[in-house]
Structure 1
Amino acid sequence: MRLLFTSDVSDHVFSLEVGEDIELAVLKALCESESGIPGQEMSLIFNNTSLDGDSRLIGSFGLKDNDMVLVRRRQSNSSRSPSRSVPGPSQASMDDPRVLREMFLANPEQRALLNQSNPPLAKALESSDPEEFNKVFREQMRVRQEEERRRMMMLTADPFDPTAQQMIAEEIRRKNVDANMEQALEHNPESFGTVVMLYVDCVVNKHHVKAFVDTGAQTTLMSAECADRCGIKRLIDTRWSGIAKGVGTQRITGRIHMVQIEIAGCFLASSFSILEDQPMDMLLGLDMLKRHQCIVDLNRNVLIIGTTGKETRFLNENELPPCARMSGPAAAAEATSADDEALAKALAASAEEAASKQSPFPEKDIKEVMNAGCNRQQALDELTKAKGDPKVAIIAVLTRGFSSGTSKK
């Protein structure tokens, strides 16, 4: 009969033609050459049940043609006992999130990566409450472990079961997303950067205002607070009240029909729709930009006033109002976290080849890094970069978001 095998070390699937009258030990020997896992460290799992008894015939386990068997590496008792009696620094780090919190706080570069890849954990890190970091970290680890458990169930379940087919389809979809992201990281890494919004300095009724240039907005807008600050709130015509719809809805309290705006020394007439609750002071929409034939020159980073020929530069990120800044703890707290990924590595070498090679690192260190949320190959890569230090490798895994267990969208 033909049996299908997959390994928790890699996603490689292989098949073997075997008879029902061979012993389990012989089957393990055949799997050893394909999976790279030594027979004495190998555990075969079928229908969520471990196949035990090397002298038993495989037909006695109920295996049938085209059944899927999971090949898993198990640690020996001798390798597990020392880790229970004398936990190493890596084990202590994984069991005590406070230690990891101090590691992040001592490394600004990793903390910046964490802000981008895992905003909920970064927010907890910036808080003064270590218990909040502990709570978020434990919850994310629980989600990762649950998803790994579901993946193992999928690999050993009946492939014709509708629920298993849904799980397999979701796993394939997630792998496609991973591959797409890895290609983007390799060929288009700038797409993961933040873009500075286009703001210009202007003057309204002798009050300086930072205005957002938005070619996608139909009308020019101003917040009620900014209108009050500029002393023009008395000019609001409430007969033009209504609702502004776009990304969300805002209440329009009215309209100011004409006000002069000073940009680059030029006085330009414009009308404003006044929004009741708007964090942005002023937005220059298409009505004003087209009336004055404005040109957005991104090459020179300037706004050109076509009717006058004058130009003004767009503001740098440090000059933007707080509501427009895309970096820092406040923005990271508001950002949404990816469902399965944050930042991933570029394409790794073949998992099958990596599994067959002798690892230069202790197996317990590899397992600890994998428990942080990555597969075996990624754990080996991070340990190599960290020169064998499991603590540094664990921090790299957490900041780059290898696993899919971060907060849901």
Structure 2
Amino acid sequence: MKLSVLAPDERIVPLDVEPDELVENLKAILEVETSIPLNEQQILHHGKEIPNHGRLNAAGVVENDLLMLVSSTLSRQNGPGPSPNANPLALNSDGSAANPAAFLNHLRGDANIMSQLMQRSPEIGKAIVTGDIEVMQRFLRQQHAHQQHLRSQIDLMNADPFDIDAQRKIEEAIRQKNVDENWEAAVEHNPEAFARVIMLYVDMEVNSVPLKAFVDSGAQTTIISKDCAERCGLLRLLDRRYVGIAKGVGQSEIVGRIHVAPLKIGVNYYPCSFTVLDQPDLEFIFGLDMLRKHQCSIDLKDNVLRVGGGEIAVPFLQEKDLPLNILGSDGPPPKAVSTPVDSKTGKTVANEFAPAPVQVTSGAGGSSDLSLAQAQEAKKRARSPQDLEVKVTRLMELGFDREAVTQALSLCNGNEEQAASFLFGG
């Protein structure tokens, strides 16, 4: 164990001794180094004298500690103990210098002390050279706290092995040591784990309106906020029968569904359907339904989103390309699950393009399961001339003529969503 001893002549004596060395043996070594008789020596550690029969580790002395050697002859001349005013290197109980200015001036004027400090503790050496008292005092307090921690570890090792409280403290100390070692290993070998992970965003256009799309394979459906849908001019296509509650980490109200709209990814256009949420802090989530439909793959090696089996590759956006409101709202979205609700009766209905039967909160405020009889009845209503005309009208609003729309619905057995995909794909 390496120690430094401050002699009365203000000389620092470096020593290398065993941790359990007797203080009496230490004094014998110092007698040779300083010429002060053993019986006139007093060894002080943090202002407290260590008796001759004591051992260094039992007194709380640890590696790189600074001890003070006082001659009893000088002590009798100067009073009953060292005072901060008489010794510029005296320390307070918290480890800080009792007289910081005198501490700085004294150390700065001794080339031998400064050389040793710059080698062992460059931070405090630099603070002394620049005259930064605050940094020096903070460093001294930190060193003192570290030494106190080491001393507490020594006390635990010397504690009664049958003391339950001592064993609990030892267990906690071992656990904390493992945590600290694990943290140090992570800092050295896996520093990127401490960096912020930016979610996957790409540039897309919905109905010719550019936006930052959050690519999330964990979202069951593609989601657009009501405000974003309004900005994209799609609220006129909102089907309010598809209301419900989206549940996940939190929950949000589903205000409806937009069955098909043009989505531009790269240079190509793709038909896309959206679940509309009344959630202002969310803009657009490209979910698993559309990822599957358009055969997308998330390529993290090349940092791109590949669409259509690889025909289009769109790069994921860097942090600098994302607005602050998106960076502050990264997190898992609610899982959107909706079911059609009759706007007049408030009861759950279904048709051939409705999602699988699930329990959700309906517009009437209740939860219900879709029965087979209800599904069959809804399917008949969906194929009625009145409903067919509604589908034709909605598809014509997307820019297709009546003949093409009628033919597409006929080929798709009245499925509006499939017909829209057919029309866009054709």
Larger RCO: Structure 1 or Structure 2 (Cα < 8 Å, ≥ 6 residues apart)?
1
Q: Rg: which structure is higher?
A: 2
Relative to its length, the structure with more helix (as a share) is 1
